[in-house]
Amino acid sequence: MLEAFSNFGISWLDPWLLLLTASGTLAGIYVGAIPGLSVTMATSILISFTFKWPVNDALALIAGVFMGGVYGGSRTAILLNIPGAPSAIATAIDGYPMARRGEAGEAIGLTTVMSVFGGFIGIAALAMFAPVISSFALMFNSRDYLLLGLIGILLVGTLSGESFAKGAFAGALGVLIGMVGLDPMTAEGRFTFGSISLMGGIPYIAAMIGFFGVAEALVQLQTLDVPAIKQKIDRVIPRLSDIKRYFWLAVRASGIGTIIGALPGTGGDIAALLAYDDARRSVKEPEVPFGEGAKEGLVAPEAANNAAVGGAFIPMLTLGIPGDAVTAVIIGALFIHGLKPGPLMLVETPHLFWFTVGNLALANIFLLIFGLTGTRLFTKIVECPKAILIPLIIVLSAVGTYAIENNPVHIYWMLLFGVLGYFLKTYGFQVGPIILGVILGPMMDSNYRRAMIGARGDIGEFFWNFVSHPISLILSIAFVLMIVSQTPLWPWLRKSIRKQN
């Protein structure tokens, strides 16, 4: 216990780590807030710079950027009606009408306090439940990991995309990209076409930066001429009466956020929308109707999306399954530092777990400080024209990709994925499942083969194992239900059940 506590406090006492967490949080707020820059983009570029750093330094910076970025999106949602990040979509619904009434400062203040509150609940859940889940996860078999990977990719694909088929395609494409190179089990080449450079595989950092950085910059070109709207900000510190009034709503929203964040494949965006929906149903008489600037409509999604940060770390650290695109990128960072997120991580490197918990808590405190100060400077920066931002994103993406192995070929990969990502996004495909597929693909492949070897190559026994063990059965049912719910069979089933009732 004492050891856990001392690891928790590492970044609180070390001035360098303190500085890194603070600058990460500050940078995250701006990155999250500036439309066109996303937390995933920033994290993937950041990883390429920090991979030579000591792991604690890198994690401190990344935790700050993640925490700040999830919150930062709310700023532009309130001020410009443009959610800076997907997790702030629900915030814009009531935040922007408040800003139009001249209450932008109040909206930002309330959002900040509730985000920090939600953040702490998520972190507390991480500290309490991750060790329990981790010891439970030690009982997981290779087929269970295969199922978890499949569920994760499909969830990201189905919840955020235009159609299930497009999500499934994106996930499978990611898996295929992850398969390129020498097979780790037999050293046989897969999709290498005799090229030596392909034998090492496609660099996933180049894929990440291409899909999230370059592709996004190209998409932003379409809205280059949309002018920025200016807002005046006055009182930022929220009223104590407001905090008291919305306390229980924030507790409930944080609970929703933590649970949704902890489910593989669902992140802050879904958590915020669900919490918003819950608030709309449960708050019977809001002061102002929802959609017209109700404070409840700000409190619920903001508490939920920051609570989802702590929640998303639970499956990431205990099962090695990312909660969403950002945690997929962070898993990539952990791999680069030679760490293997999964049930053994808490057994082998418990200090790292408690360090992460402490770090997230610290980032949350910085969030409160930076969230309530410097709003005037902030409005100036977010008004930065896209004509300046887009070339800068491309330069940063190029530096980030090159920095990993100093290999110019990687930047060509980045450009290729950037162009492909642009077309995919234009035609309604999501790029998040691709990155999940790239990262989880090799893990799923090796677990599939282990499970198949365990069944002595007998396909009947292989499938029987999925239903004859309790954990595998639950996961299999979840997987099948997920697929069935996306087919026309689902509405038909629901209709016939309703008819019978």
Contact set with another protein (CB under 8 A): 49-50, 52, 162-166, 168-169, 171-173, 175-176, 179, 183, 185-186, 188, 190-191, 214, 218, 221-222, 224, 385-388, 390-392, 394-396, 398-399, 402-403, 406, 408, 411-412, 414-415, 418-419, 423, 426-428, 437, 441, 444-445, 448-449, 452-453, 457, 459, 462, 486, 488
- Give the nearer residue to another protein in terms of CB position, either 17 or 309: 17
Distance linking the first and last C-alpha atoms of the chain = 54
Torsion, Cα 497 498 499 501, to 10 degrees, reads: 90
Which tokens belong to 337?
A: 């530092």
From the CB of 22, what's the least distance to another protein, in Å?
A: 15
- Give the nearer residue to another protein in terms of CB position, either 113 or 154: 154
- Give the nearer residue to another protein in terms of CB position, either 37 or 361: 37
From the CB of 12, what's the least distance to another protein, in Å?
A: 23
Cα–Cα nearest to 37, from 251, 257, 283, 213 = 213
Which tokens belong to 188?
A: 């046989």
From the CB of 492, what's the least distance to another protein, in Å?
A: 14
Q: 316 to each of 262, 300, 330, 348, 438, how far by Cα in Å?
A: 9, 24, 9, 16, 16
From the CB of 357, what's the least distance to another protein, in Å?
A: 26
Helix (H, G, I), strand (E, B), or coil: what is residue 190? strand
Residues 6+ apart with CB under 8 A from 297: 90, 93, 94, 95, 276, 279, 280, 286, 290, 291
- Give the nearer residue to another protein in terms of CB position, either 198 or 288: 198
- Give the nearer residue to another protein in terms of CB position, either 15 or 457: 457
From the CB of 415, what's the least distance to another protein, in Å?
A: 6
- Give the nearer residue to another protein in terms of CB position, either 189 or 350: 189
Cα–Cα nearest to 250, from 229, 272, 232, 217 = 272
Query: Containing H/E element for 332?
Result: helix 325-336
Q: 128 to each of 313, 341, 457, how far by Cα in Å?
A: 12, 18, 40
d(CA 79, CA 99): 6
- Give the nearer residue to another protein in terms of CB position, either 228 or 372: 228
From the CB of 314, what's the least distance to another protein, in Å?
A: 27
From the CB of 397, what's the least distance to another protein, in Å?
A: 9
